[in-house]
Amino acid sequence: MTTVVVAGGGIGGLATALSVSAHGHRVVVCERGEEFAELGAGIQLAPNGMHALDRLGLAGTVGRIAVPVEELRFMDGVTGDHVVSMPLGEEYRRRFRNAYVVVHRGELYRTLLRACQDSDLIELRASCPVVGYEHGGDEDAPGVRVLLGQGRVLTADALVGADGLHSAVRAKVVGDGAPRNAGITVYRSIVPMERVPEDLRHRSVSWWTGPGRHFVHYPIAGGRYLNLAPSVENRPSETFSGLPVPAADVRAQFAVLCDTARRLLALGTDWKAWVLVDREPVREWTDGRVALLGDAAHPMLHYAAQGACMALEDAVVIGELLNCPPRQFGARLRQYNASRRERTARVHRLARDSIRLWHARDADARARNETLAAMSATDLYDYVAWLHGARDFAPPSGSAEGTYTLAGYLGPADSGGAADDPAAPHTLGGSLELPEQQR
């Protein structure tokens, strides 16, 4: 039987195992941790992510544990003014054929894990780090030697590196060193909903914007908890992950925000901090019968709320393309790479451009508010249609339409190098896209 090894047992890795095994291949998932578990708090799943879960047979299960979001609220965090909302009710669901939901990361992960455990074609191996690979011959010859810790080796017909930001598989496929420090720290805390005053409870994803910082919150775990996630451009010199931080330090970073935002932040306890990182988009993330997926392939800032969705989309595409004999795996993985390159690079750019949208100050913030406030719900749906409305996750290369970034009102953006990369098409969108008549 054909065997595909997946490096990494996170959301992308487990989704890949389900997608690939659905076409009759045996899958071995190698996880470096001592157990299969997922850290973190909330995840936003736009309709494209829910559609990917539907293709994996899990949309119904996830829908039962997720919180449907009523609106995306954009607030001026300094003045406290409501700027604009994108309603996510019946009209939105009818247009994009799915709901926009939020879910606890652990609950989504356990749903994927149980599905893998129920499959006779999926083997889950913990304490089994993938440290590298070797080709078993030329590209069309059977075999990838998957190198594990302690000198162990697995022979497989293909290897999918879903081993995250610090991917050992990427180190050989791309070899681009450490991720880029974005100069932003995000703080996270989860608050039991019974501690949240009634006037601060909303079935929405709410953004409070401020100079060089912003704050987002939304309910998770069936509405039992409120997820708090403020972030600030404080240029940390080193990266860290899950570092405990005193609540007073977090509040001090956001003292410039209005009373309502500060009341919400005051609810947080047991704060932990992460430095945001990403990488530049690259043209190639395959090497023969080896491919990267999710954060190992195209890590992006979380400001587009699409990291998990992109990994789920990747998993669907790679599974459907590997519905073929092993001798075709190399060509099919190149096809996967080519079909996903532009869309993921465009979302990557959206996430970076969103910094300028959320963190604008003074005159730029006022111009942003005026632009957003003039937009109708239909306008907003049009602007996100390319992202939320996707049901074909592998469009032909070059099929994206030209767009104009909302961040354009702030002047030329620093692309961070993406625009100079041939993998990053000129059609990369910004945080929101303006129609022709508003250019």
**Average pLDDT in the 195-217 region?**
96
Q: How confident is the model at residue 1 (pLDDT cuts 50, 70, 90)?
A: confident
Write down the H helix ranges in 129-277: 168-173, 247-253, 259-266
DSSP character for 382?
H
Q: Tell me phi and psi for residue 103, to 5 degrees.
A: -145, 150
For residue 416, the model assigns a pLDDT of 35
Model confidence at 209: pLDDT above 50: yes
Integer-rounded Cα radius of gyration of the chain: 21
For residue 412, the model assigns a pLDDT of 35
Which has more confidence, 259 or 401?
Answer: 259
Average pLDDT over the chain, rounded to an integer: 89
Model confidence at 435: pLDDT above 50: no
**pLDDT (tens digit, 9 = 90+) per residue, 147-177?**
998 889 999 999 999 999 999 999 999 999 9
Q: Long-range contacts: 415-420, Cβ < 8 Å, 24+?
A: 415/349, 415/352, 416/180, 416/280, 416/352, 417/280, 418/280, 418/281, 418/345, 418/348, 418/349, 418/352
**CATH architecture under which domain 3-67+102-178+280-341 falls:** 3-Layer(bba) Sandwich (3.50)
For residue 137, the model assigns a pLDDT of 62
Q: How confident is the model at residue 249 (pLDDT cuts 50, 70, 90)?
A: very high
Structural domain spans, the chain: 3-67+102-178+280-341, 180-278, 355-438
For residue 394, the model assigns a pLDDT of 79
Share above pLDDT 90 across residues of the chain, in percent, rounded to a whole number: 84
437: how many CB neighbours lie within 10 A of its CB?
5
Instruction: Identify which of 202, 30, 205, 36 has the alpha carbon closest to the alpha carbon of residue 130.
Output: 30
For residue 425, the model assigns a pLDDT of 28
For residue 26, the model assigns a pLDDT of 98
Model confidence at 415: pLDDT above 50: no
**pLDDT (tens digit, 9 = 90+) per residue, 111-149?**
999 999 999 999 999 999 999 999 986 555 568 999 998
Max CA pair span of the chain = 65
For residue 176, the model assigns a pLDDT of 95
Model confidence at 397: pLDDT above 80: no
Amino acid in position 358: W
- Least trusted range by pLDDT, from 58-67, 154-163, 247-256, 415-424: 415-424
Write out the H or E segment, with its range, that includes residue 327: none
Instruction: Identify which of 274, 212, 214, 204 has the alpha carbon closest to the alpha carbon of residue 40.
Output: 274
**pLDDT (tens digit, 9 = 90+) per residue, 2-30?**
999 999 999 999 999 999 999 999 999 99
Amino acid in position 226: L
Q: Which residues pair with 45 in a beta bridge?
A: 101
CATH code of the domain made up of 180-278: 3.30.9.30
Burial 314-353 (b: 16+ CB within 10 A, else e): bbbbbbbbbeeebeebbebbbbbbebbbbbbbbbbbbbbb
Write out the H or E segment, with its range, that includes residue 337: helix 329-358
Q: Which residue has the tokens 């306890």?
A: 269
For residue 396, the model assigns a pLDDT of 57
In angstroms, rounded to a whole number, what is the distance separating the alpha carbons of residues 178 and 393? 28
225 annotated active-site: no
For residue 141, the model assigns a pLDDT of 54
For residue 138, the model assigns a pLDDT of 55
Distances (CA, A) of 116 to 76, 121, 294, 299, 418: 43, 8, 18, 24, 36
Amino acid in position 320: E
**Average pLDDT in the 59-72 region?**
95
End-to-end CA distance of the chain: 56
In angstroms, rounded to a whole number, what is the distance separating the alpha carbons of residues 324 and 304? 34
The single residue of 109, 218, 225, 383 carrying the catalytic annotation is 218
**pLDDT (tens digit, 9 = 90+) per residue, 290-325?**
999 999 999 999 999 999 999 999 999 999 999 999
Burial of residue 414 (number of CB atoms within 10 Å: 0-12, 13-18, 19+): exposed
For strands 204-210 and 71-76, give the pairing: parallel
Instruction: Identify which of 255, 246, 310 has the alpha carbon closest to the alpha carbon of residue 278.
Output: 310
Q: How confident is the model at residue 237 (pLDDT cuts 50, 70, 90)?
A: very high
Share above pLDDT 70 across residues of the chain, in percent, rounded to a whole number: 88
Q: How confident is the model at residue 371 (pLDDT cuts 50, 70, 90)?
A: very high
For residue 433, the model assigns a pLDDT of 34
